[in-house]
Amino acid sequence: MKKDLVAVAILWAVLTLVAEAMVLGWHVLPINASEEGQVVDDAYTLLTIMAAPVFGFVIATLAYSVFRFRRRGVPDGDGPPMMGSKRVVLAWVAVTSALTVLVIIHPGITGMLELGQHAQAASDLVVQTEGSRWAWKSAYIQHGVTSYGEIVLPVDRRVRFEVTSTDVVHSFWVPAFRMKVDAVPGLTTTVYITPNRTGSLADDNGFRLQCAELCGFGHYVMGVPVRVVEQGEFEAWIAQQGGR
């Protein structure tokens, strides 16, 4: 029995090391172009790091059990009953419960508090975005500009999006910014985004405003390009649109 435990422990350690190396060395997340998005990405990475040992333990135990304790020479029929250890069960419950409480606190509560701090900061730009089947309208109220074909934002400026809908529930989501909020008829929801790198849909597919809530037949076409530019280029675009 001790030999089996040692073998499983070694296999578990190897699988965990491989998984952690993949998490830390293989960048699988799409492009991130906002300060708030970094909070989300950090939470995802931390949760994956914490999940790797649990996943490795389950795979190591199952794989070793399949090969070590498989029945030989018996074509069918049930094997002899086996009793588990109460100490193992209690330890598993204790460890997984502790991990659950930990992720609720961090990155759960701490991440929400950090995003809340972003929301409390003063906004440099306010964009009122309205969803309708199946298009988005964005009004730059400080500049007197309304745009249907694209959303243009200045880099390194905090933007407050005030989001609503004219018909059904839509969902405001820009993959490159990570942040998402529902667009609800008769209600204005708010999300704060601070783009921290320039880019456009031509550079990466993540620079688009996409409805992330199934809203009807034309849901799949309900998206508009997002362009993040330098402040001077943003002011030139506002002037081109007839704004102030």
pLDDT band at 208 (very low <50, low <70, confident <90, very high): very high
Number of domains in the chain: 2
> Residues 187, 129: one domain?
yes
Q: Residue 62 is which amino acid?
A: L
Q: pTM score, two decimals? A: 0.86
Q: Give how far the C-alpha of residue 152 lies from the chain's centroid of Cα atoms, to the nearest Å.
A: 23
Q: Which domain holds residue 14?
A: 2-68+92-120
**Domain termination site, one of 101, 120, 139:** 120
Nearest to 17 by CA among 61, 44, 49: 49
- Considering the domain boundaries, does residue 85 fall inside one? no
- Considering the domain boundaries, does residue 230 fall inside one? yes
- Considering the domain boundaries, does residue 78 fall inside one? no
> Residues 8, 115: one domain?
yes
Strands 223-229 and 151-154: parallel
Taking all residues of the chain, what is their mean pLDDT, rounded to a whole number?
92
Instruction: Report the C-alpha gap between 241 and 238 in whole angstroms.
Output: 5
Residue 243 confidence (pLDDT) above 70: yes
> Residues 98, 179: one domain?
no
> Residues 178, 97: one domain?
no
Which residue do the tokens 């990466």 mark? 204
> Residues 163, 102: one domain?
no
Q: For residue range 104-162, what is the model confidence (pLDDT) as tens digits? A: 999 999 999 999 887 777 899 999 999 999 999 999 999 999 999 999 999 999 999 99
The residue ranking higher by pLDDT, 71 or 108, is 108
- Considering the domain boundaries, does residue 81 fall inside one? no
> Residues 142, 188: one domain?
yes
- Considering the domain boundaries, does residue 8 fall inside one? yes
pLDDT of the residue at 76: 67
Residue 73 confidence (pLDDT) above 70: no
pLDDT band at 87 (very low <50, low <70, confident <90, very high): confident
Q: For residue range 28-55, what is the model confidence (pLDDT) as tens digits? A: 899 999 999 999 999 999 999 999 999 9
- Considering the domain boundaries, does residue 76 fall inside one? no
Instruction: Report the C-alpha gap between 144 and 234 in whole angstroms.
Output: 14
